[in-house]
Amino acid sequence: MFGIQARLTCLFVVIVTVVLAISGTYAQYKLAHELELANQRLRDGVLTRLQTSLPSALWDLDKAKVDNIVAAEMLPPELLAIRVYDTSVGLFSGKRRNADGTVLDANGRDAVAGTATVADLAYRDGDQAGRPLIVGRVVVNFSRDRIEARLAAEIRRRVSEVLLLDLILVVALALSLRIVFAPLKQLRDRLHELATRDSEEVDELPEKRRDELGDVIRGFNAILRRVKAVIARTREAEDEARGAAQETAQAMNELRQAQESLLQAERLASLGSLVAGVAHEINTPVGIALTSASVLKEATEEIHAAVMAGAVKKSEILRYIDTAGESARLIMNNAYRAAHLIHSFKQIAVDQVSEARRRFELREYIGEVVSSLQPRLKKTRLDVAIDCPPDVVLDSYPGALAQVITNLTLNCVDHAFAPEQEGRIAIAVRPRGEWIELAVTDNGAGIPADLLDKVFDPFVTTRRGQGGTGLGLNIVYNLVVKQFAGSIAVHSVPGQGASFVLQMPRVTPGPELPAEGSPPA
C-alpha cells in the first residue's frame, strides 16, 4: 500500500508529465506544421523555377542548359530526383541523388524514392496566336526524411526533457517531503508504541523544531505526559478498587455468615418458642391429671383404712366409686390431651430440626402445625381455619413446610392484628395437577404499598425495636423458591388484609430431578 509521500510524488509526476506531454504535443504539432509549410514552399519554388527556366531551353533542345538548370536545383537535400521529359524523345535530362548524397545522372530505369510531383512545361511564345505550348514535363521527387528526422529528434528531445524533469521532480519531492514526513514517521512510531506498549516505555519526541510540525510534536508530548498521568492515576484507582473489592468480598462473606447465623438463630428461636409454648400448654393437663391422681390416692387410702377397720359403709363405698370414676375420667382426658400435644410437638420438632424427606398427608400435617401453635394462638382472639381437600399427599420436606406455615401464620398474628383484636386467618390448599397452591390469608391491617415489593427482603420489618427481626418472610421465600422449587407472591390492600400465595410441586425435585409439569398460570 502506497504511503502519502509516494502518492504525492506520483501525483506531481503525473501532473507534470501530463502538462509537458500536452505542451510537447502542441509544440510537435506546430513544428510539423511549420516543416510542412517550408517543404511546400520549397516544392512550389522548385517547380516554379523549373517551369520558368526549362521551357525555353527545352524548346531550343539545349541539353547543356537543361542539365545546368537541373543540377542547380538539386542543391537542396530534400530533392531526390529531377527528370525532364520531352514530348517527342522522352527523358531528355535528369539528375538523381544517391544514398550517400552524391548527385548522378538519371535514366529511365532508375527507381526513385520519395514523393513525385509532376508539372507541365509550357513555352509561351511557341504559338502564332501567342498561346502557351506544352513542350514537355518535369517530374520532381521530394524526400520527407529530414522532416521526419527533425520530428523524431524533437520527440526524443521532448521525452528526454520530460524524463529529466520527472527525475528532478522526484528527487526534489523526496528531499522536500522528507522534511515533513520524517517527523510524521517518528510521531506515527510513537503513537504505535503508545497503543501497544506501556506508557512508561514510550519516550517523548525532541522539541527542537519551531514550525508547524514542532507544534504538533509539542502537542503529542503534552498528550503523552497527560496519558502517563492518567494511567498512573488509573492504576492507583485500580489498586484502591482491588483492595476495596477484596474488603467488600470479605464483608459480604462475613455478612453472609452473619445472615446464615441469624437465619439459624431465627429457626432455633422459633423452635424454642414452640418448646416453651408446648411446655406451658402441657402443664395444665398434667397438673389436672396429677391432682386427680392425688385425690384418687387419698380416697383409696381412706377406703382401705375403713376396710381394715371392718367398718365400711355402703355410702363410703359409693362415694369412693364416684371419686374414682371422676378422677379416672379427668386423668384419662387430660392424659390424652397431653399425649396429643406431645405427639404433635414431637413430629413438628423433629421435622424442623432435620431435613428428612418423606411422604405425608397435607391436611393432617397442617392441622398438627396449627396445633403446635395453639399456645401462641390461644392468647389472641384469632380464628384459624384450614381448608384443604383430603388425600393430598406430598413427597417433600415436612420440616421446611412447617417452618413456612409457622412463619406465615405468626406473621399474621404479629403484624396484621392489634392485641385483643378479633380476626381470621385462613389456610387454603387447592390442587393444580402435579402442583398445589397454598394460600395464607388474613383480614387484618394489610401491608403498606411502599413495603409490598420488599417484604421478602432480609431485615425488612414494621416492628423494628419491638422484637421483629425481618427474617421470617425471607426464610419463607428461600424455602419456597430454593428447597421446594416453587414460587410465592403477596397481594395486599391496606385495611383489607393480605394474602400470601405459594405454588409448589407435589413431588419436590431433587438436585438432579426437575419438577414435573409446570406451575399453573
Say which CATH number the domain at 386 has.
3.30.565.10
Q: In the predicted model, what is the mean pLDDT of residues 216-234?
A: 77
pLDDT band at 279 (very low <50, low <70, confident <90, very high): low
Which of the given ranges, 42-46, 89-93, 224-228, 311-315, has the highest pLDDT on average?
Answer: 42-46
The domain of 31 spans: 4-167
* pLDDT value for 342: 65
pLDDT band at 471 (very low <50, low <70, confident <90, very high): low
- DSSP type of residue 143: P
CA atoms of 229 and 236, how far apart (whole Å): 11
Amino acid at 119: A
429 forms beta bridges with 438
500: number of Cβ within 10 Å: 24
* Mean pLDDT (the chain, rounded): 80
- Virtual torsion, Cα 324, 328, 331, 333, nearest 10 deg: -140
Helix (H, G, I), strand (E, B) or coil at 515: coil
pLDDT band at 270 (very low <50, low <70, confident <90, very high): low
Question: Which run of H or E residues covers position 67?
Answer: helix 63-73
* pLDDT value for 320: 80
Listed residues 135, 167, 199: the one ending a domain? 167
Amino acid at 298: E
Q: In this structure, is residue 197 part of a structural domain?
A: no
Listed residues 130, 149, 167: the one ending a domain? 167
Q: In this structure, is residue 332 part of a structural domain?
A: no
Q: In this structure, is residue 22 part of a structural domain?
A: yes
Helix (H, G, I), strand (E, B) or coil at 472: helix
CATH number of the domain residue 143 falls in: 3.30.450
* Cell numbers representing residue 400 in the block: 421446611
CA atoms of 391 and 219, how far apart (whole Å): 85
Helix (H, G, I), strand (E, B) or coil at 9: helix
Instruction: Give the list of residues 6+ apart from residue 58 with CB closer than 8 angstroms, or none.
Output: 66, 84, 86, 92, 121, 123, 135, 136
Q: In this structure, is residue 456 part of a structural domain?
A: yes
| Mean pLDDT lowest among 76-80, 125-129, 145-149 | 125-129
CA atoms of 212 and 362, how far apart (whole Å): 89
- DSSP type of residue 62: -
More confident position, 349 or 84 = 84
- Virtual torsion, Cα 25, 26, 28, 31, nearest 10 deg: 180
Q: In this structure, is residue 192 part of a structural domain?
A: no
- Virtual torsion, Cα 244, 248, 254, 256, nearest 10 deg: -170
Q: In this structure, is residue 289 part of a structural domain?
A: no
* Cell numbers representing residue 49 in the block: 523555377
pLDDT tens readout for residues 414-446 = 888 888 888 999 999 999 989 999 999 999 888
The CA-CA-CA angle for residues 439, 441, 447, to 5°, reads: 120
Domain tally, the chain: 2
Backbone phi, psi, residue 312, to 5°: -90, 130
CA Rg value for the chain? 66
* pLDDT value for 200: 64
pLDDT tens readout for residues 377-424 = 888 888 999 999 988 999 988 888 888 998 899 888 888 888 888 899
CA atoms of 497 and 424, how far apart (whole Å): 10
Q: In this structure, is residue 398 part of a structural domain?
A: yes
pLDDT band at 271 (very low <50, low <70, confident <90, very high): low
Cell 413430629 sits at which residue? 347
Q: In this structure, is residue 276 part of a structural domain?
A: no
* Cell numbers representing residue 347 in the block: 413430629
Full-prediction pTM beyond 0.85? no
Listed residues 141, 167, 193: the one ending a domain? 167
CA atoms of 152 and 166, how far apart (whole Å): 21
